[in-house]
Structures are given as C-alpha cells and as structure tokens.
Chain A
C-alpha cells in the first residue's frame, strides 16, 4: 500500500468548531479517560497515528499515548440501535449484509 491508498481520515478526540462564515477553530480538548467505541460491521484494517492535530496551537510537539482494546461482542444488526435510527442506516446495513454474503 502507498500514497494512493491514503484518503480522508477521522481525528478522534479533536473538536473543531465551525462558525457561520465557515471559519474553523481548534475547540475543547478531550479529557483524560475519554473514549470512543466502534463496532466493526465488516472486516476492517485500522491504521492509527498518535500526533497533535494540524490546528493544535501548541508550539510543542507533544503526542500522548492512546489505549486500544478489542472485544468479541458483536451485536446483530437488527439489535443495533443504529440500524433503526433512520431508513438510511437500515439501507446501509442491508448493503453491508449483502456485500458480506457475496464474499463467502
């Protein structure tokens, strides 16, 4: 894999605020112990880098550690509240289910 495989990314724990003119500012900093949980709906590769956000105003380069945990705790799509949140989600899950079936 190389440069062509790098696409847009998620900056977990960084809050960026947008005002009415579209200007963005570095927002509140995440507190120690904050976490985010994700469930894999298909087999995925996660590539992660700990470094300050490009808009972090600090003039010191101070990346901090993250802790990553993986559990076997799959929730069936129909039991997942996200599935029922709106029709778009239901159709997205349906696409994933059909795609996964097509692989095996």
Chain B
C-alpha cells in the first residue's frame, strides 16, 4: 500500500512537469485540494486500515451522502489511489510526446482540449470512479479459494489481475472519449471548409486518433496478459458496443445524435427492456426492437455508451476471481444499472436550475428531451434546426419547454428506478465494507 501511495504522488509530480504550461494553472488550482485530501486521508488511515476491518467512518455512514467523501472512503477500502489509476498511462514516452504536441493546440477550438481538461479535472470526480467501482465489486464478491496466494493483493482484498482489469476499463473508456473528440473534416462540412482552423483541426485529429489507439493497444496487451480468453472476449465486445453506439439514429455533421422524428416507428415497440445475448458476446444489442419507446431507447443507447463497459468489466472481474456464473451476471447487472443511474443523473443536471447556464447545452437524446418529445411531439420541429449542427438549436427555448412539462420528473423517476435496481442486485453480495461503500456511492449520487 505504501508503494501505491508513493507512486500516486510521484505520478502527480511527474504529470505536473509534463503537462503543457498553458494547462498548468487549471491543473494546480483544481487538482491540488484533491491531492491534499487524498494524502492526508491516506496517511492518517494507514494504521487503522487492514483488509477486513471497516474503519469507524464506514460503519457509521456520513449523515449526508457526500459524493467526494463516499469516493475517498471507497478508495481507501481498495487500498489504491484510484483517482490516479486513469492517469498512469500519461507517463509513457508516447504520451509525453502527445503532451508536447498538445501545447500547439492550446487556444485552438479542437474538442480534444476540452476532453483533456475534462480528464484532468472534472467537477464531481466522476471520471475516475469507474475503475474504483470495478475494484469495489471485486472486493465485495471476494474470490474462489482456488486462486493461488501470489495472485492476491492481501491488504486490499483484490487480485492483481483485477487491478489490471480496472485499469483497462479506464483506458478503454478514455480512449472512447478521445476518439469521440475527432472532428469531422469532410469537405462538405462547415469544419472542413474553414481554412483558418483546418490545420489545427487536422493536427488535433491526428493526436486524438493516435492517443486513443495507443490506449486501445495497451489495453489489449494488458488484457492478453490476464491469460483469460473469456475476459478478453467480453471486454473486446464492450469496445465494439462503444463504436456501435456512435451509429444509432440520425446525426448532425459532427455526429451529435438527434432524436428520431416522432411517429417514425408505427408498430408498438417492445416495452420490456432488451439486453445482450448472455451466451454469445458477438451478438449485438437488438436495439431496433425498442426504437420509438423513449425509456427503452434511452436505455439501449446508454447501455452501449456506458453500461456495457462498466457491466462487462464487473462481470469479467468476477470471472478472474473464479466466481459463479450467477454472481457474474449479478455483477454485470450491477454495473449496468449503476451506469444508467449515473447517466440519468447527468442528463437531469442541466435542468436543475430554472435558467440554462451560459455555454451549457445538453444532448438531444438525453432522457428529458426524449420524454418531452413523447409528451409533446410538436417540439421536434425546433430540433430540426439542428440537422446540420446541433449548435443551431435554441437550447434556452427547449430548456424552458422541458421544465414546463413532465420530462424532468420522469427522468428523476428513471434514475430512481436504476438506483433501486443496482441496490437490489447488491443484496446478492455478502455484506462487507466494500458493499457498504458501493451503497454509499449510489446514495451519494442520488443526492447530487
């Protein structure tokens, strides 16, 4: 554990040196408090923490469900500064190179910059939480007695292979985010015609593409080293799901999703949820069956976009631990519902205040918009303005309309549904401090 702590600090210091100076103010100001809390907690808890004993803070849950606190508690339980899990890859030579190149892009409008900042810091520390969830689920489930001692990290109660898997999960997720920052420069598009910024954009695309590929390549190497082909299969299928998610439905020039025109699907679509074929990971999500039903369609889109990776990673982690198929399925469901609950929470966020904040937009396939379209199909005519670019849409107007309707309440309902489902699945796991930490995270999310 001491080693991990030391490496966390070292990573942070090295990162500071490597990150372009232009990004530094943001980096130092925003990340420093996190670092402080992280280090102080680590140091003070060293003596009290050992594998199974829950510290008093965990057994008496915080009175108010505070997100940051729930996450730090959880990190302590798995004995690893997971906030840095996703940043370790930044230290390779290739990425150091990228950091140099990124400097050229500072000040340009390339979305890669936004993604980079978002990765280094975001308001609710959510980016880092994924690997943490995988580790907590791993610890909550424990492992089969057949697993040899050398493969265990005794102090943290997870296997080394599970740690590697958690890291792979984050790398794949970031690679998808980075690949999604590529700008469409086809000559028929606005971005393709803008001569002034074309070179910047083209260069940003190159860096983004290579960085994403680097992460994918390294995840596949790490996966291979786990020496478990079922796990490789499962996680590869999650990569497939990510790419599939970017093809569903109509898109503007920059591939931002647009909702289907109400009435596109005449036949009554399924209202029971669909999911992957448990017996064949190659079979894609049968999304065509649910198109037109706002809730089910939203669910499918976001399973592909998020739930698949988190669910399949949790499942794969239990595979590594030699757990039963049944518990693996529970782990998948837990990850899926947690990701969906989290997505519903994010979708609702722009609608929490009566006036849409400046420079804030929202996805046109987010739950509130889809629910509102069902309630008032007439709003679609306003969304048609976004066919070329979603920037042409009057977000304020739509924001107002949605707030006046029932969509936000339905979104909250949706979040509660998935939160409850995640909590219910959790009951299949033995009561441990790790399970408690997962519950705390879910409850904290609800209060966000």
Q: Do A and B bind each other?
A: no
